[in-house]
Amino acid sequence: MKFAVIVFPGSNCDVDMYHAIKDELGEEVEYVWHDADTLDSYDGILLPGGFSYGDYLRTGAIARFSRVMQEVIKAADAGKPILGVCNGFQILLEAGLLPGAMRRNESLSFICKPVELKVENNTTMFTNSYEEGQTITIPVAHGEGNYYCDQETLANLKAKKQIVFTYKQNPNGSLENIAGIINENGNVLGMMPHPERAVDALLGSADGLKLFQSIVKTWRESHVVKA
């Protein structure tokens, strides 16, 4: 499986994402600059964390208009797995690929620490290697991770099991403890915690590796050539 790590001006978690895919997962991966005009040769698209375009206006608001985002939308419509982490999640929200918006942390402070998450839905292409209800430890590092949506959107997220991860102890004021959500088609996941920083016990946790393993597992199962 071949992954693209999208690099925006101000991205700073692209190297972590690349390492997770190449060295821990053992899959093919390339950096792709934000002005790329095609993503057709990639099977999965990763939007890393950071401060794209300096987080001016709103987090992700400028990156959403980068040329590559039209290709990300195209890839999402084609059913390819799209993962946005931290700033990547914020960009997916701004691009309309996921519902809701991101606000400043309730404390108005930057938060950087390991947190415990609950796997709310383990039937997605991103979580099928976890157990439902499993507690995993993944670090967060953000100043604007306070997820918000209106009550109608929240009801839809719950009804369609689009809330994939929740915080065991809410660090940022996020509505309903939401840490990660998926789109209705199940191929676009946005989450504030950093699974790419939890892929080896030496990092304090390897709980994030199963997320990437789930993507590859699903992709391979769908690309098996039947005799």
Using alpha carbons, select from 83, 95, 89, 87 the residue that is nearest to residue 43: 83
Opening angle at CA 87, ends 200 and 182, nearest 5: 80
Q: Which of 13, 34, 86, 94 is catalytic?
A: 86
194 belongs to the catalytic site: yes
SS3 217: helix
Contact 175, 148 (CB under 8 A): yes
Tell me the residue type at 62: I
Q: Which of 34, 94, 120, 194 is catalytic?
A: 194
Distance CA 144, CA 128 (A): 28
196 belongs to the catalytic site: yes
Q: Which of 71, 94, 120, 196 is catalytic?
A: 196
142 belongs to the catalytic site: no
Buried (b) or exposed (e) across 95-133, using 16+ Cβ within 10 A? bebbbbbbbebeeeeebeebbebbbbbbebbbbbbbeee
Using alpha carbons, select from 42, 47, 39 the residue that is nearest to residue 8: 47
Residues noted as catalytic: 86, 194, 196
